[in-house]
Structure 1
Amino acid sequence: MADDGETGGKKPTRWDDLSARTWTGLAMVLVGVVAIRLGGVWFQMLVVFVTAVMIWELARMIRPGLDVGAMLLAAFSASVISGLLSQKPDWHLALLLVPAAVGSAAMARERLTFFLFALGITVAGWGLIMARDTYGGTWLFWMVICVVVTDVAGYFAGRRFGGPKFWPRISPKKTWSGTIAGWVGAAAVGALFLTFTNAGRDLIWISMILSMASQMGDIAESALKRRLGVKDSSALIPGHGGLFDRFDGLLGASLFMLLLALIVDVPEVRI
């Protein structure tokens, strides 16, 4: 008897993926928290690894048969970022363009797409390392918690309330209820950090903008997957797809923080 795509005859629900998402999400948060707390080479190694894996996923999404080549691109990206850690942040940062340019030349199609996304990934990864080294772990905890709360609040509000779609052509599952819930959740995180840090009240609205940047990172990756006709960036993480699927929001948040640091003087936030 046909079950219309259901597993074991059980009718699927909108919460079917919750268990896998929860446990893998908690594991990733735990690893991230420990790495941010330790800082130094531990956090650097984690960021370099995640960045390299996302470059590998991006290359295989655009050119599925490029198995060895995608691994070489990932290793090359990791080598460039690792090498920059021993240099002063001046003209050497132009080397971040090299992995994106080399990978773009290896693509049979979507060369500009690969270049832009690969550059965004490597710059965001570099930005996370510099933010931890320059401003301390508190900023990183705030950023990561804002991104996680944005994702979690958006997930539950979107599944619970539904309603009009935020951008149906790009991200069919994202609703306005989930999007706004993410902003509110991030604002609450900012307000919470005001209670035990020396951050100013501007942190509340900055948290909301960071939430929006995180959502734009998610939407950008969704647009990429729709353009390439793929469901997930890879199948590395149960319930989450690939690292690119999981960290797209953090990429957007990291790029926003880099832009913010260029515009204003970001102070070190002390507990």
Structure 2
Amino acid sequence: MRETPPQPPAKWDDLTVRLTSSAVMVVVGAAGVILGGVWFQMLVVFVTAVMVWELWMMIRPNEPTKGMLMAALVASIMSGQIADGALWGMLLFLIVPIIGASQLKTETKMFFIFALGIQLAGWGLVHFRDDYGFTWLLWLMFVVIVTDIFGYFAGKALGGPKFWPAISPKKTWSGTVAGWVGAGFVGFVFTLFTNAGLWVIVISMVLSFAGQMGDIAESALKRRMGVKDSSTLIPGHGGLFDRFDALLGASLFLILVADIFDVPGVVF
């Protein structure tokens, strides 16, 4: 009897699992954002610590104890800095990158840069929520989420040329541009009930690109380490680093926009 050859995976095979995981993350994240205060701070501290653990495990998968110790140290430093709030305390964010890099013989710069970036992005999210309130953090999250959704569906449906095949072979130009369009729409919606002005549409689209670059940076790291996902914590998504890489890039960009540049017509 002739055997039936194995069928290739359907185009939308992962959609149910992906959407279910996304729904859970949205509920948990939305609860933290809405409650704010210590609840949002604890959520960010937890996510930040786990991502540093995932970063370590991608580089040194056979040394989980060191990864856990660095995650615990990140949580302690983040909690202390959030509670104290002194600007000089941000120097403490160098401790884990320095300790981690000192324990590595290879990928020292990679660990240092990513570990520092993760902590700064986490601090930026808490800072942005405390200083500018629920509405603008919701805007940030919607930009990142809509960029991902529009990019996913447009990329799957339209396909076409790859955005950066050497680093992220699944990302297409159609999905990338669709993400910008979706982010611009989010910005437009927020102009209807905030005092931000039309410039927020442009900022939303640039923020979308910053988030995509966060995704690209993590993809480059995974490709360099020879792994598919940062971990297997989230069904359909991999690890927290896989899910929040775009939010990291967006958060780092937003620190510059909100705290350094005075953008005409935008009042956060």
TM-score (norm 1): 0.94
State the number of aligned residues. 265
Q: Which runs of 5+ in 2 are unaligned?
A: none
* Equivalent residue, structure 2, for 1:226: 223
In structure 1, give the amino acid aligned to 2:81. Answer: L
* Equivalent residue, structure 1, for 2:197: 200
1:40 equivalent to 2:37? Answer: yes
* Equivalent residue, structure 2, for 1:159: 156
Specify the SS of the correspondent of 1:240: coil
Distance change >3 Å, CA 167–CA 88, structure 1 → 2: same
Bigger drift between 189-198 and 116-125 goes to 189-198
C-alpha displacement of 1:93: 1.0
1:87 equivalent to 2:80? Answer: no
1:238 equivalent to 2:225? Answer: no
Distance 1:243 1:183 in 2: 23
Bigger drift between 21-30 and 82-91 goes to 82-91
What is the correspondence of 1:58-97 to structure 2 with a 5 Å cutoff?
A: 58-97=55-94
Specify the SS of the correspondent of 2:237: coil
Q: Which runs of 5+ in 1 are unaligned?
A: none
* Equivalent residue, structure 1, for 2:14: 17
In structure 2, give the amino acid aligned to 1:80. Answer: I
Distance 1:37 1:265 in 2: 27
Distance 1:57 1:199 in 2: 37
Asked if structure 2 preserves the Cα contact closer than 8 Å seen for 1:136 and 1:268, the reply is no
In structure 1, give the amino acid aligned to 2:218. Answer: E
Distance change >3 Å, CA 34–CA 2, structure 1 → 2: farther
Percent identity, please.
60
C-alpha displacement of 1:105: 1.2
* Equivalent residue, structure 1, for 2:174: 177
Distance 2:42 2:4 in 1: 46
Distance 2:33 2:90 in 1: 23
- Counterpart among 53, 56, 60 of residue 53 in structure 2: 56
In structure 2, give the amino acid aligned to 1:113. Answer: M
Asked if structure 2 preserves the Cα contact closer than 8 Å seen for 1:232 and 1:241, the reply is yes
